[in-house]
Amino acid sequence: MNVAIVVAAGKGTRLGGNRPKQFIELDGVPIIIHTLRQFERCEAIKEIIVVVPAESTAAFSSLAEKFEVRKLSRVVSGGDHRMAMALAVAGLVADGETVVEDTACVHTSFPAFVDTLNALAGGPAITVEA
């Protein structure tokens, strides 16, 4: 099964303004919805997981409902560590075992990485070897 993981967890600080760029509208539709519509149209994609900032989860969920994003299966709060969270979320839906090597390299910038991933999984998805 093909799953699209859309990482929209940025804050839009480089763009300026008072809201994240994924929520800025083009022709009356938020940018994130324009993106998700492409995955909605793609027959190969069966499921969509979206990573958004924690403070935007409710707003995004409301938009997804308003714009009828049907393939959306999960909304994940990912903070500022988009790549680590995207790969971790991919591992949660992949068949078979997923190995996250060297979680210590993420610890410096994202100390809660292991705890966050395990919370998303609903149990111990990864452990850190001493």
- CATH numbers and ranges of domains, the chain: 2-96 (3.90.550.10)
Q: Which amino acid is at 77?
A: S
The whole-angstrom separation of Cα 60 and Cα 51 is 10
| Contact in structure between 48 and 55 (CB atoms under 8 Å) | no
- Taking only the tens place, the pLDDT of each residue in 5-40 is 888 877 777 777 778 888 999 999 999 999 999 999
Question: Model's pTM, two decimal places?
Answer: 0.67
| Contact in structure between 104 and 128 (CB atoms under 8 Å) | yes
Helix (H) or strand (E) holding 77: strand 72-77
Q: Which residues pair with 3 in a beta bridge?
A: 47
The whole-angstrom separation of Cα 28 and Cα 9 is 21
- Taking only the tens place, the pLDDT of each residue in 59-75 is 999 999 999 999 999 89
